[in-house]
Structure 1
Amino acid sequence: MKKSSTDVLYQEESTYKDMLLRKSWSMRIAETITFVLGMMILAQIFPRNDATFKVLAIAIAIAVVGLAPFLYKSIMRPVYKLTKTHLIVSISGKETSYPLSEVEQVYEGRHFYRLGGKKESLMVSRQFLNQLNERLSYYNKGNKRR
């Protein structure tokens, strides 16, 4: 169900900092696999106790962790929208709408939420998370009265 732009209370594109600090599990796994593959290739080229190996290993780690958010943002283009009744997540142009009744915060971390029964990481700023939490509490209070 698509919402019109007039219904949107708050909209945000993920920034580099948000993506670096609030990575999804799939992004973390992809980084780990990329780092391991890079290290395996590096181990085939240089002896493990060589200084060049150590410097390149650190360079690979920095490159993987530092460049992953840039790549993810350019490929996936995550956008989050908050309406009065829905949270809309757009990844790679595919828009998914979650009613606020199906959105709840998971207490393991501030940016983890249960969306439609699945635990997801929202790669957004604290301001967006505050707006979402405020909207969720308002929405839940309204439903308790009925």
Structure 2
Amino acid sequence: MKKTSDEILYQEESGYKDLLLRKNMKMRIMETLFFVVGMLLLSQFFNTQSPAFKVLAFAIAIAVVCLAPFVYKYTLRPSYKLTKTHLIVSMGGRETRYPLSEVEPIFEGRHLYKLGGKRHSLMVSRQFLNHLNERLFVYQKLQKRR
């Protein structure tokens, strides 16, 4: 049986750990804004030197960092698919297909890639990134032969 180019070689949905560790800059900024708003609201009700303020500030920080991946997972539902010729990114109900010719790793971090000329953070496991890097190597090798 002959494989088509759209046959999915590897597929993955982002897990909690991936969303916690490999967020993009936009998500990090949103978390920071939620923390700042929480701190501003907290400072309206408590003296900033009181122990209650310090405990609640710490609780807000933990809540923002630990609960944000759950929110991302259920609102954005990020999933990634790898085919012979494309990387397919589904985020928030939108699916974007990137030809492997437009996918290149950025050596600043293991999960940062240039997709279609723009910098993206792939919120996937190392196993998926290994499959992607292998597929990119094979794809580039095939392109050099042509």
- TM-score with structure 2 setting the length: 0.95
Structure 2 unaligned blocks of 5 or more: none
Equivalent position amino acid for 2:122 in 1: L
* Structure-2 residue corresponding to 1:62: 62
- Report the number of matched residues: 143
Distance in 2 (CA, whole Å) between partners of 1:59 and 1:12 is 32
Give 1:40's aligned residue.
Answer: 40
Root mean square deviation of aligned Cα: 1.3
1:14-53 equivalent positions in 2, closer than 5 A: 14-53=14-53
Q: What residue ranges of structure 1 are gaps of 5+ in the alignment?
A: none
How far apart, in 1, do the equivalents of 2:11 and 2:72 lie?
A: 19
Q: Distance in 2 between matches of 1:37 and 1:58?
A: 14
The residue type paired with residue 91 of structure 2 is I
- Give matches, 1:135-146, under 5 Å: 135-146=135-146
Alpha-carbon separation, structure 2, partners of 1:93 and 1:57: 34
Amino acid aligned to 1:121: S
Could you tell me the TM-score, scaled by structure 1's length? 0.95
Equivalent residue letter for 2:84: K
Q: Report if the CA contact (8 A) 2:39-2:57 is conserved.
A: yes
CA distance in 1, matches of 2:116, 2:107: 16
Q: What secondary structure is seen at the aligned counterpart in 1 of 2:109?
A: coil
What one-letter code is carried by the residue in structure 2 that aligns with 1:68?
Answer: A
**Partner of 1:142: helix, strand, or coil?**
helix
Deviation at 1:5, TM superposition (A): 10
Deviations 1:87-142 (A, max 9, x none): 00001121000000000000110000000011000000000000000000110111
1:2-52 Cα deviation digits (max 9, x unpaired): xx8960000000000110011111110100000001001111110010000
Q: Which residue of 1 aligns with 2:104?
A: 104
| Partner residue in 2 for 1:95 | 95
**Runs of at least 4 residues of structure 1 off by over 4 A?**
none
Amino acid at match of 1:18: D
Letter in 2 for 1:19: L
Report the secondary structure of 1:107's partner residue: coil
**Distance in 1 between residues matched to 2:41 and 2:107, nearest whole Å:** 39
What letter corresponds to residue 135 of structure 2 in structure 1?
R
Work out whether residues 85 and 99 of structure 2, in 8 Å CA contact, stay in contact via their aligned partners in 1.
yes
Task: Give % identity.
Answer: 67
